Amino acid sequence: MLKIAYHPIYKHPLPDGHRFPMIKYELLPQQLQLEGICTAANFFAPTLASKVDIIRAHEETYYNRLINLELTPKEIRKSGFPLSDVLVKRERIIAQGTINNCHYALEYGVSMNIAGGTHHAYTNRAEAFCLLNDQAIAAHYLLFHQLAKKILIIDLDVHQGNGTAEIFSNEPRVFTFSMHGEGNYPFKKETSDLDIALAKNTDDATYLKLLSNILPNLMEEQQPDFIFYLSGVDVLATDKLGTLGMSIEGCAKRDALVFKIAKENNIPIQCSMGGGYSPDIKIILKAHVNTYKLAQEFYF
C-alpha cells in the first residue's frame, strides 16, 4: 500500500495575504480521496521528530534556539513564516513523516509526504519557508541506522536545494542532484554534487530530454540504494515564483521518469512535495495529484 504522511498541523495559519498557499495541504488529501486515488487507509499521522534525529542534520545550537523561539527578527524574516511553538511543532512532525516514509519505502518501494521538501533549511539557519530540512534529517537517519549506504537526492523543485547541498557538502555517502531555474531564488547558489541550471522558459521537451539522459547515468555512477525525490510543482509555466515553462503534462512525465528508474533499479524512494505557487490552487492540486497517481500506477 502507498503510505502517505499527513497531519492536520500541516495547514498552518498565516497572516492574510501571505503568498504561501498553505491551503494545499488540507485540499490535497481530500482531492486524492475524491478522485479515488487513495483512501483513508493510505494516510498516517506522524508524531514529533526527536532532537537526536534532527541534530544529525542541524546544529544543536540552532535547534535549541528554534525550539525556544530565540531566532532574531532578521532570522524569522528569512524563514518566511512568523515564528511560533505551533510552527516548530509542524516542522518536527513533517520531518518525522519523512523518516516514517523511509521505513515504508524500504517495505513497499515508495512512500510520500503531503508536505516536506524543505530544502532551503541549512545546518544552522532557516530560509524561504524551510526551518528543518526533512529529507536531510531522514537521510542522516538512514545512514546512522545503517539502512542505506549510498543515497541519491533528486531535487526537481524550481529552486536550487541550497540547504541540502550545504548539509551534505562533506558527506560522500549522499549525492545531491538539483535541477532548477538558473534565474530563480536562491540568487547565490550553493554547490550540489550535480547542479543543472535551466534557462528561463525551458519547455517540456528540453527538460525531459535532459532528465532522461541524467538519471540513468546517475544510477550507473552512484549505485544508490535509496532515493529521496523532491517533486516541486513550481516548475510550471503558471508558477508565480518560478521561471520555467513546463506544462502539467510535462510535470507528470518528469515524475514518471523518476519513479520508472527507481522501480526498474529496485531502489526505494521517498517523495516530498516541495513548492508550488501557481495563482490558481486547482493547478497546484492537479500537478501534485498526478505525482500520487503515478506512484500508485508504478508500484501498486
- CA pair distance 97, 286, nearest whole angstrom: 22
Of the candidates 287, 180, 185, 289, the residue with the CA atom closest to the CA atom of residue 238: 287
Return the closest-CA partner of residue 259 out of 289, 214, 215: 215
pLDDT reported for residue 19: 83
Q: For residue 16, what pLDDT band results from cuts at 50, 70 and 90?
A: confident
Cell of 185: 531564488
**pLDDT tens-digit profile of 169-213?**
999 999 999 999 998 889 899 999 999 999 999 999 999 999 999
CB 235 within 8 A of CB 156: yes
> What is the spatial distance between Cα 92 and Cα 96, in angstroms, rounded to a whole number?
6
Residues 60-91 pLDDT 10s: 999 999 999 999 999 999 999 999 999 999 99
Count of helix runs (H) and strand runs (E) in the chain: 10, 8
Q: Report how far residue 258's alpha carbon sits from residue 231's, in angstroms, rounded to the nearest whole number.
A: 9
Could you tell me the pTM of the whole model?
A: 0.96
Residue in 13, 6, 176 with CA at minimum distance from that of residue 81: 13
DSSP H stretches of helix in the chain:
24-34, 51-54, 60-67, 73-79, 85-108, 134-144, 162-167, 204-222, 248-264, 281-299
113-161 tens-digit pLDDT: 999 999 999 999 999 999 999 999 999 999 999 999 999 999 999 999 9
